[in-house]
Amino acid sequence: MKLDAIDIRILDILQRDAEQQVAQIAEQVGLSSTPCWRRIQRLKEAGVITRQVALVDARKVNVGVTVFVSVRTSVHTEAWFETFKATVQAIPEVVEFYRMSGDVDYLLRVVVPDIAAYDKVYKRLIAGTQLHDVSSSFAMEELKLTTALPLGYAS
Amino acid sequence: MKLDAIDIRILDILQRDAEQQVAQIAEQVGLSSTPCWRRIQRLKEAGVITRQVALVDARKVNVGVTVFVSVRTSVHTEAWFETFKATVQAIPEVVEFYRMSGDVDYLLRVVVPDIAAYDKVYKRLIAGTQLHDVSSSFAMEELKLTTALPLGYAS
DNA sequence: TGTGAAATGGAGTGCCT
DNA sequence: AGGCACTCCATTTCACA
């Protein structure tokens, strides 16, 4: 889908605050409500906007601790991968999960209340499949965490 | 703030899809619209729900490449940290930024269109402050990425 | 594509239980 | 705390440029 400058401005507004009403957004981008509304619909239909969610304060729901888990494996079969993928995706504490290039095979971001809770997740992780090496790093401070993507490359 | 089982169910619904109307959520949690609406307001006022945002498809805005950047530093002064923090936070391609325990001092998640674009971000990063070691790992596949926090620890 | 007005339907309010 | 009835206003639709 082709995105013009106004679409990008609309996206930028919505990915920071989706509660604003259409008329307010329209004003900011110099449009009246209807065309602005049509553009938003178009962005949703095209899948540029995938969905709209409420962001929850991690500490207020008692998951203030973030752990990054690096996983190395020795097995490299398709069947192993499918099992591992399903195991990890089913763990709600895992909020990010990537297959990586380089010396680490997989990287996970896990959120938990404390180290004891992390240990349970860790055990669930290694119980599912055979892993060669698992290394955990704890985040001491969250300096930036945003769902707003940079829009400067869009076209 | 104390969260009961109904609050948690409401949070769980909203952090997956905030576009549902109050009446629909109310039905799912076995309440009528008004008390459900009041609970949602209370969750917002208490800061449990921080905000509501539109999620954008990274590939559709041309930032389909994710890079994790591990930073080690030799300088450990407060002034250095403040400069570094401000430099990194100002880079829109950096969507996550943590101070870590262990051998890596900082971890960044960066989203860019391609490796060439990453190189520019990398240069911007090292131009800002003195860094001892910067190591980049590319994500080959995004297996899970969610803004929905696990709600099993909330109370 | 954009504008303006009209209709629709959900959010927000007050009051009662 | 929850439910019901009502008001109000933003969203959505429609006719037109």
CB of B67 less than 8 A from some CB of A:
no
What is this structure's pTM?
Answer: 0.96
How sure is the predictor about A1, in pLDDT bands with cuts at 50, 70 and 90?
confident
A77 CA from D4 C1′ (Å): 61
Helix (H) or strand (E) holding B38: helix B33-45
A32 CA from C4 C1′ (Å): 9
Q: Rounded to the nearest 5°, which phi and psi values hold at B37?
A: -60, -40
Task: Tell me how far apart the terminal alpha carbons of chain A are, to the nearest angstrom.
Answer: 8
Positions in chain B short of pLDDT 50: none
Question: How many Å apart are CA A54 and CA A152, to the nearest integer?
Answer: 25
Across the range A9-16, mean pLDDT stands at 97
How sure is the predictor about A36, in pLDDT bands with cuts at 50, 70 and 90?
very high
- Determine the distance in angstroms separating the CA of A151 from the nearest CA of chain B, rounded to an integer: 6
Cα–Cα separations (whole angstroms), residue B27 to B4, B38, B124: 17, 14, 51
Contact A72, A108 (CB under 8 A): no
Checking if the pLDDT of A128 tops 90, the result is no
CB pairs under 8 A between A and B: 226
Q: Which nucleotides of D are covered by protein (CB under 7 A)?
A: 1-5, 10-15
How confident is the model at residue A123, as a pLDDT? 97
- A50-81 pLDDT, tens per residue? 999 999 999 999 999 999 999 999 888 999 99
Q: Which residues contact B6 (CB under 8 A, 6 or more apart)?
A: B29, B30, B31, B39
Q: Do A54 and B18 touch (CB under 8 A)?
A: yes
- B77-119 pLDDT, tens per residue? 999 999 999 999 999 999 999 999 999 999 999 999 999 999 9
- A87-104 pLDDT, tens per residue? 999 999 999 999 999 999
Largest Cα–Cα separation, chain B: 59
Calculated CA dihedral for residues B12, A107, A88, A94, nearest 10 degrees: -20
Q: Which nucleotides of C are covered by protein (CB under 7 A)?
A: 1-5, 10-14
Which residues of chain A are within 8 Å of residue B141 when distances are taken between CB atoms? Answer: 98-99
CB of A102 less than 8 A from some CB of B:
yes
Local structure of B69: helix, strand or coil = strand
Question: How many Å apart are CA A43 and CA A47, to the nearest integer?
Answer: 6
Q: Rounded to the nearest 5°, which phi and psi values hold at A71?
A: -120, 130
B53 CA from D5 C1′ (Å): 32
How confident is the model at residue A119, as a pLDDT? 98
Query: Tokens 């601790």 belong to which residue?
Result: A65
Instruction: With CA atoms as reference, report the closest residue to B69 among B125, B120, B116.
Output: B125
What single letter denotes the amino acid at residue B138? F
Q: Do A148 and B53 touch (CB under 8 A)?
A: yes
Percent pLDDT > 70 in chain A is: 100
Across the range A120-125, mean pLDDT stands at 97
How confident is the model at residue B128, as a pLDDT? 80
Q: Do A98 and B66 touch (CB under 8 A)?
A: yes
Output DSSP code: residue A97.
E
A61 CA from C9 C1′ (Å): 34
What single letter denotes the amino acid at residue B32? S
